[in-house]
């Protein structure tokens, strides 16, 4: 696996390690913001509050409920990248320019999201750790996880090589 260390995100989860290629060529503002938050330690300890089997796992809310963020909304950077297994996208509220710190990782194809959400990364290794995340109970359309798994640590690869 050949990666750009400055654009490689390492997530250590309760369930294992995930390596994500950041895509500044698709979403430069989102990638820069993710790197800032990672370097501040923002994601360390945050839970996957919304996990819908066959769809996606979402994290990045400091409250663990999906209701919060870092306080810095980003302008949408919708692009032509497909949403498929391993795609990482920016979660948002109703307004297209409301993405902040929350993001999701797709378990499967979700092409209906194209043009509505910003793709900013792709899982290179560790999808088995994403697959192992605790899922919401069947019948909860919001995908709320009662006892969610967490991000133990988030690091940019280049920072670990210093």
Alpha carbon of residue 8 to chain centroid: 13
The CB density around residue 40, as the number of other CB atoms within 10 Å, is: 10
- For the stretch 65-116, pLDDT in tens is 999 999 999 999 999 999 999 999 999 999 999 999 999 999 999 999 999 9
Q: Give mean pLDDT, residues 28-42.
A: 98
Structure tokens at 64: 């663990």
pLDDT band at 3 (very low <50, low <70, confident <90, very high): confident
Residues 133, 149 contacting (CB under 8 angstroms): yes
pLDDT at 2 over 60: no
Question: 5-160 adopts what CATH topology?
Answer: Cyclophilin (2.40.100)
Mean pLDDT, the chain, integer: 95
Residues 49, 61 contacting (CB under 8 angstroms): yes
Stated pTM of the model: 0.96
Residue 120: phi and psi, rounded to 5, are -130, 5
Structure tokens at 145: 């996880």
């Amino acid at each position: 696996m050949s990666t750009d260390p400055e654009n490689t995100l390492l997530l250590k989860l309760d369930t294992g390690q995930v390596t994500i290629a950041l895509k500044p060529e698709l979403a430069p503002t989102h990638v820069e913001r993710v790197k800032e938050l990672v370097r501040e330690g923002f994601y360390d300890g945050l839970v996957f509050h919304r996990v819908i089997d066959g769809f996606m796992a979402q994290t990045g809310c400091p409250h663990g409920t999906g209701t919060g963020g870092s306080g810095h909304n980003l302008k949408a950077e919708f692009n032509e990248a497909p949403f498929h297994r391993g795609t990482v996208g920016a979660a948002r509220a109703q307004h297209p320019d409301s993405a902040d710190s929350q993001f999701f990782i797709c378990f499967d194809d979700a092409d209906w999201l194209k043009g509505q959400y910003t793709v900013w990364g792709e899982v290179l290794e560790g999808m088995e750790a994403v697959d192992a995340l605790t899922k919401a109970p069947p019948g909860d359309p919001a995908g709320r996880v009662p006892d969610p798994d967490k991000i133990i640590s988030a690091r940019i690869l280049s920072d670990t090589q210093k």
